[in-house]
Structure 1
Amino acid sequence: MDVHNAFSHGDLAEEVYMCLPPGFGTGKSGMVCRLKKSLYGLKQAPRCWFAKLMAALKTYAFKQSYSDYSLFTFLQGNVQIYVLVYVDDLIVSGNDHRTIQLFKRYLSDCFHMKDLGALKYFLGIEVARSPEGIFLCQRKYALDIVYEAGLLGAKPASFPMEQNHNLALAEGPFLPDPECYRHLVGRLIYLTATRPELSYCVHILAQFMQQPREPHWEAALRVVHYLKGNPGKGILLRSDSDLQMYAWCDSDWGSCPLTRKSLSGWFIQLGNSPISWKTKKQHTVSRSSAEAEYRSMAVTTCELKWLKELLVALGIQYPNPIRLCCDSQAALHIAVKPVFHRRTKHIEIYCHFVRDEIQKECIRPTYVTTKTQVADIFTKALDRRQFECLLSKLGISNLHAPTRGDVGISSKFGIK
């Protein structure tokens, strides 16, 4: 659902004055007008609109989630309705069609709403449904990137970034117009919302926004070449998921040659469906690979705690500990037992909350080999064989390529 003139519905809590519009009050110099409602362009407008919407939803007996303030839940008997808000766009879902229709009428009475029907396209993300589950992709968005780069007729690449690259120390002339590089990388950042395999390469490219060089531009174009061959890939949220979370975390120790900071990456699945992933440089320098892996476990545990609370807000209880896979036995020993004092006495206290979460049975660390570490794709550039091997484990599908391992899946989603 979409709200017409959403910001105009907000009520101002403080006094705000504005100059008279041109042509109004001619001859009355020094006159101003006081606003009773928010207008587009005011700093207070988004906050006032959200407060107005939140009051209307709470009047209807909705409860605001503390894990995500833009999520509202309505539970009455066996009836469940969930509303997700993004500025003036609302996604409404539930298990009772009649109750949803009554709620939509209530919203239309409160605000001037437009019902856009079943969710098919939202913020550049395409949504397709079938008994298999819900498929999310950004095919049109990816093709627009390829078109703007002028590479519609270019040869596609099989993986997005060359292995053993040295972009941080790359030498070459600076780009005369860095705005084109910033625009391209900015669009690639949003593409990672449904393309987990691009997280690492986009993270690397985003570090050179200030002064990009020719090698950085060439590396960005290689990512576009990869998109040329795989524009329709996306994530499949399967309907047969067992509602159990599985997490992988990894780090690349001292990977940045300029700061010697390590790189953390995590990947979380709900059953076989990918729901969270990230590649991020650590804030401090780690003195050992075990410390870098331990910090990666800490940030992944934070994400797992948030996701667990979010599942509870959606009515899914999660009493079992979450399996957290790590390929560092030293980091696992540090997390389970308070030993290795020489190696851990300098680590910040916040990292050691991992031990508390293990004792609370919130997480269960598990050792996996480096070859089976799924999060490895988020911390380093891999060769084609390893990249495709890990890509097949991420739960990524391609509905528009039925001849490559996804035979028949496009027809199930109604895509020709």
Structure 2
Amino acid sequence: MDVSNAFLHGHLHERVYCQQPTGFEDAQRPHDVCLLSRSLYILRQAPRAWFNRFVEHVKTLGFQQSRSDSSLYVITKGSDMAYLLLYVDDMILSAYSTTLLQAVVAQLKQAFAIKDMGPVHYFLGVDVKRTKTSFFLSQSKYALDILEWEGMANCKAVATPIEVKPKTSSLDGALISDGSWYRSMAGALQYLTLTCPDLAYAVQQICLHMHEPRDVHLVALKRVLRYVKGTVNYGLHLHATTTPSLTAYTDAD
């Protein structure tokens, strides 16, 4: 779902004045100012005001804010549950039953100008393909964009994201000329690990050297990009299970 003019819904808790809008000046009092009762997009307070307004409202509906993610809200109605995820003015709503889902949407529309976009297909760079029994999450378009930005759209792919050898020392090689670019690309690859956990270790090694990236680290970063080239269609396959148990594997001591 999408919220129209989201920042205009925010309530201000301090006095904020603005000049009279162009074309609507009072000829009798041209130097007077306007006292705002709602936030505007140009205000620094606008994002926080909107977020607080939204949180206050969904809590009145019975939603509980997640302790691990302040953008996630959960509501329980008997044996039914619904999950709402908010990112600025975009949100995903999922519920155990259609009845609960429609009820929540109706309550949200009473307070905000909300447009129902239907079943989720694409959200924050994540492509969602749905079947009767599963979801497939991937970031193919995002991965291709990263390769295009770096000019590696036609590079030769490699089979592994990192070379099988000891970790590169942070003192090896010369410092690269554009450290900000290195940090930007490392951050972009971090986001790609959302649906590509096979990149997690290699990207972690790249991020260890963001403060002083050297040419050997740049080579490692480009190797990850070459691996991405051959795995742009990889993703996460989520399907239903008969048990609610979660299995995890780790080699940490």
TM superposition score category, shorter chain reference: 0.7 to 0.9
Where does residue 200 of structure 1 map in the other structure? 201
**Kindly tell me: are residues 100 and 20 of structure 1, through their superposed partners in 2, closer, same or farther at Cα, counting changes over 3 Å?**
same
**Kindly tell me: are residues 53 and 200 of structure 1, through their superposed partners in 2, closer, same or farther at Cα, counting changes over 3 Å?**
same
Where does residue 70 of structure 1 map in the other structure? 71
**Kindly tell me: are residues 24 and 175 of structure 1, through their superposed partners in 2, closer, same or farther at Cα, counting changes over 3 Å?**
farther
How many angstroms apart in 1 are the aligned matches of 2:132 and 2:25? Answer: 62
Q: Which has the higher contact order (CA 8 A, sep 6+)?
A: 2
Please tell me whether the aligned partners of residues 19 and 32 of structure 2 are also in contact (alpha carbons under 8 angstroms): yes
How many angstroms apart in 2 are the aligned matches of 1:211 and 1:41? Answer: 36
Residue 123 of structure 1, CA deviation: 0.5
Where does residue 172 of structure 2 map in the other structure? 170
Secondary structure of the equivalent of 1:55? helix
Where does residue 14 of structure 1 map in the other structure? 14
Secondary structure of the equivalent of 2:222? helix
Where does residue 79 of structure 1 map in the other structure? 80
Residue type matched to 2:107 in 1? Y
Residue 187 of structure 1, CA deviation: 0.9
**Kindly tell me: are residues 223 and 48 of structure 1, through their superposed partners in 2, closer, same or farther at Cα, counting changes over 3 Å?**
same
How many angstroms apart in 2 are the aligned matches of 1:151 and 1:161? Answer: 17
Secondary structure of the equivalent of 2:73? strand
Residue type matched to 2:104 in 1? F
How many angstroms apart in 2 are the aligned matches of 1:165 and 1:79? Answer: 49
**Kindly tell me: are residues 216 and 20 of structure 1, through their superposed partners in 2, closer, same or farther at Cα, counting changes over 3 Å?**
farther
What CA deviation, in whole Å up to 9, does each residue of 1:88-113 have, x standing for no partner? 21111112223322332332232111
Structure 1's unaligned 5+ residue stretches are: 252-292, 294-416
1:227 maps onto 2:214 in alignment: no
Secondary structure of the equivalent of 1:235? strand
Residue type matched to 1:220 in 2? L
How many angstroms apart in 1 are the aligned matches of 2:190 and 2:42? Answer: 27
Residue 70 of structure 1, CA deviation: 2.8
What CA deviation, in whole Å up to 9, does each residue of 1:321-360 have, x standing for no partner? xxxxxxxxxxxxxxxxxxxxxxxxxxxxxxxxxxxxxxxx
Please tell me whether the aligned partners of residues 134 and 239 of structure 1 are also in contact (alpha carbons under 8 angstroms): no
What CA deviation, in whole Å up to 9, does each residue of 1:20-67 have, x standing for no partner? 556765997875432211122433322321222223323333343445
Residue 78 of structure 1, CA deviation: 3.7
What CA deviation, in whole Å up to 9, does each residue of 1:194-218 have, x standing for no partner? 1112122212222333443222222
Please tell me whether the aligned partners of residues 142 and 231 of structure 1 are also in contact (alpha carbons under 8 angstroms): yes
What CA deviation, in whole Å up to 9, does each residue of 1:141-171 have, x standing for no partner? 1111122222222211111111224141221
How many angstroms apart in 1 are the aligned matches of 2:75 and 2:60? Answer: 11
> Cα RMSD (Å) of the superposition?
2.6
Residue type matched to 2:231 in 1? N
Where does residue 187 of structure 1 map in the other structure? 188
Please tell me whether the aligned partners of residues 167 and 216 of structure 1 are also in contact (alpha carbons under 8 angstroms): no
Please tell me whether the aligned partners of residues 72 and 83 of structure 2 are also in contact (alpha carbons under 8 angstroms): yes
Residue 117 of structure 1, CA deviation: 0.8
Where does residue 128 of structure 2 map in the other structure? 127
Structure number having the greater helix percentage: 1
Identify which range, 138-147 or 74-83, moves more after superposition.
Answer: 74-83
Q: Give the alignment of 1:269-284 within 5 angstroms.
A: none
How many angstroms apart in 2 are the aligned matches of 1:119 and 1:232? Answer: 19
Please tell me whether the aligned partners of residues 18 and 34 of structure 1 are also in contact (alpha carbons under 8 angstroms): yes
Secondary structure of the equivalent of 2:208? helix
How many angstroms apart in 1 are the aligned matches of 2:42 and 2:248? Answer: 42
How many angstroms apart in 2 are the aligned matches of 1:233 and 1:150? Answer: 21
Where does residue 43 of structure 2 map in the other structure? 42
Identify which range, 213-222 or 73-82, moves more after superposition.
Answer: 73-82
Q: Give the alignment of 1:329-408 within 5 angstroms.
A: none
Residue 193 of structure 1, CA deviation: 1.2
How many angstroms apart in 2 are the aligned matches of 1:181 and 1:22? Answer: 44
Please tell me whether the aligned partners of residues 131 and 239 of structure 1 are also in contact (alpha carbons under 8 angstroms): no
How many angstroms apart in 2 are the aligned matches of 1:76 and 1:29? Answer: 55
**Kindly tell me: are residues 234 and 23 of structure 1, through their superposed partners in 2, closer, same or farther at Cα, counting changes over 3 Å?**
same
Residue 183 of structure 1, CA deviation: 2.5
Please tell me whether the aligned partners of residues 168 and 216 of structure 2 are also in contact (alpha carbons under 8 angstroms): no
Aligned pair count? 251
Where does residue 409 of structure 1 map in the other structure? none
Where does residue 116 of structure 1 map in the other structure? 117
When normalised by structure 2's length, the TM-score is 0.86
When normalised by structure 1's length, the TM-score is 0.55
Residue 220 of structure 1, CA deviation: 1.0
